[in-house]
C-alpha cells in the first residue's frame, strides 16, 4: 500500500466511533450479509465513523482471510458515508503489514493498533519501530489503542512515539486512569487526538476535552453516546451528567468477560439481528438479559419487545 499514501484530517477521527460487533452464528462463522445492517444502523444513529476489528468486534479472533473479507464488506457497506477505521490486534509487525496488504485499494481513515499483547514486551525503541514500519508501509494515520495491561504505554512513551512517528496521530486510552487522559490532552500537539476507551468515564473524559470515544457502549447505544457527546460540546453539563449516570447503569449491567455478547443483545433490543460471540466466550445469559433490560428502560432509546428479537445466531 506504500505507493498510495493516504491522509486523513484528524477532525475525521473525532466524535463517537463505535466498534462494529462481529456477527457470528452458533458455529462461530461470520455472517457477512449482516455487516451492512450494523453499519447502516450506526450511521443512522449519527455516529462519526466506525472501527472494524476492535475488541468489542472480537478482532483478535479473526484469521487473515476473515479479517480481509469483513473489512471489504464494511467498506462496501459504508460507501464513503463516514470514516472507516481498521483495528489491528496482532503480535508482530510482519502480521500487521501482511494484513494491511490484503486491504489495498480500500479508503481507510485510520488504523487502531494495539501494542503487542502476548507475553513478551518489546523495549521502547522496538515499540516505536513497530508503529513506524506499519505507517511507512501503509501511509495511513495510526491511533494507538492503549489497552494491553502488561504493555500499557505511559503518557511519556505515547508522546515520544508521536514525536518520532508523525503518522501516529493520536491514541485511544482504555485504562481507568483519567489522569492520563488529562495529561495527554495538555501535552499533545495541534492536530493530534485523544479518544476515550473508558465506558464508565465518558462524561468526565468529554468534559476534559477528549475528542471522542471508541467503546463498547458506543456500539451498544450509539445514539445515546452521540447525545452525551453533543451535550458536553454544547456546555449543558447538567443534562450530560444525568445522562451519564443512566448510561453507567447499563455499563454496570454488562459483565466485562462477555461484553461483546452483551453488546449484541443490546443491539438486538433496538432491532438489529441477534448474533453470538465466538467460542470460547460465553453467550449472554437470561439472567444478564433481565438486568440489561432494566437498565435499557431508563435510556432515551426505542426498544423492540424482547419477544420480537430476530435471533439469527442459529443460522
Q: Are 192 and 162 in contact (CB under 8 A)?
A: yes
176 phi/psi in degrees, rounded to 5: -75, 5
pLDDT of residue 308: 84
**Domains contained in the chain, CATH given:** 10-232 (3.20.20.70)
Is residue 160 among the annotated active site residues? no
Q: Which of 145, 227, 265, 289 is catalytic?
A: 145
Q: What is the pLDDT of residue 315?
A: 45
185, exposed or middle or buried, with CB in 10 Å at 0-12, 13-18, 19+? middle
Residue 242 DSSP one-character state: H
- From the candidates 5, 82, 172, 238, give the one annotated as an active-site residue: 172
**pLDDT tens per residue across span 248-269:** 999 999 999 999 999 999 999 9
* 145 catalytically annotated: yes
The residues, any chain, with a CB within 8 Å of residue 219's CB and separated by 6 or more, are 18, 19, 20, 21, 42, 56, 57, 263, 267
Question: How far apart (Å, rounded) are the C-alpha atoms in residues 75 and 216?
Answer: 21
pLDDT value, residue 9: 63
Rounded to two decimals, what is the model's pTM?
0.94
Residue 294 φ/ψ, nearest 5 degrees: -65, -40
How confident is the model at residue 254, as a pLDDT?
97
How many of the other CB atoms lie within 10 Å of CB of 133? 15
pLDDT lower than 70: segments of the chain: 1-9, 313-315
pLDDT at residue number 2: 41
Tell me the pLDDT of the chain averaged across its residues: 94
pLDDT of residue 178: 92
Give the pLDDT confidence score for residue 146 in this predicted structure: 93
Q: What DSSP state is assigned to residue 152? A: P
Amino acid at each position: 500500500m506504500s505507493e498510495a499514501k493516504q491522509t486523513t484530517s484528524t477532525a475525521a477521527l473525532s466524535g463517537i466511533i463505535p466498534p462494529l460487533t462481529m456477527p457470528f452464528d452458533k458455529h462461530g462463522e461470520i455472517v457477512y450479509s449482516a455487516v451492512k445492517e450494523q453499519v447502516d444502523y450506526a450511521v443512522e444513529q449519527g455516529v462519526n465513523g466506525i472501527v472494524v476489528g476492535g475488541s468489542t468486534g472480537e478482532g483478535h479472533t479473526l484469521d487473515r482471510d476473515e479479517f480481509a473479507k469483513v473489512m471489504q464488506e464494511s467498506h462496501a457497506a459504508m460507501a464513503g458515508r463516514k470514516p472507516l477505521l481498521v483495528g489491528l490486534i496482532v503480535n508482530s509487525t510482519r502480521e500487521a503489514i501482511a494484513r494491511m496488504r490484503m486491504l489495498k485499494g480500500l479508503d481507510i481513515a485510520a488504523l487502531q493498533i494495539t501494542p503487542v499483547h502476548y507475553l513478551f514486551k518489546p523495549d521502547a525503541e522496538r515499540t516505536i519501530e513497530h508503529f513506524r514500519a506499519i505507517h511507512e508501509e501503509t501511509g495511513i494515520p495510526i491511533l494507538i489503542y492503549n489497552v494491553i495491561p502488561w504493555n500499557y504505554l505511559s503518557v511519556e512513551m505515547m508522546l515520544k512515539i508521536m514525536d518520532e512517528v508523525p503518522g501516529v496521530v493520536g491514541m485511544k486510552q482504555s485504562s481507568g486512569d483519567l489522569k492520563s487522559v488529562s495529561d495527554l490532552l495538555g501535552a499533545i500537539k495541534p492536530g493530534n487526538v485523544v479518544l476515550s476507551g473508558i465506558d464508565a468515564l465518558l462524561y468526565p473524559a468529554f468534559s476534559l476535552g477528549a475528542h471522542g470515544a471508541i467503546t463498547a457502549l458506543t456500539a451498544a447505544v450509539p445514539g445515546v453516546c452521540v447525545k452525551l457527546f453533543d451535550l458536553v460540546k454544547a456546555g449543558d453539563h447538567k443534562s450530560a451528567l444525568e445522562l451519564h449516570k443512566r448510561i453507567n447503569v447499563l455499563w454496570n449491567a454488562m459483565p466485562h468477560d462477555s461484553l461483546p455478547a452483551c453488546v449484541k443483545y443490546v443491539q438486538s433490543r433496538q432491532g438489529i439481528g441477534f448474533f453470538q460471540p465466538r467460542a470460547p466466550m460465553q453467550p449472554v445469559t437470561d439472567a444478564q438479559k433481565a438486568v440489561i433490560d432494566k437498565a435499557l428502560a431508563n435510556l432515551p432509546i426505542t426498544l423492540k419487545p424482547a419477544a420480537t428479537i430476530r435471533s439469527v445466531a442459529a443460522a
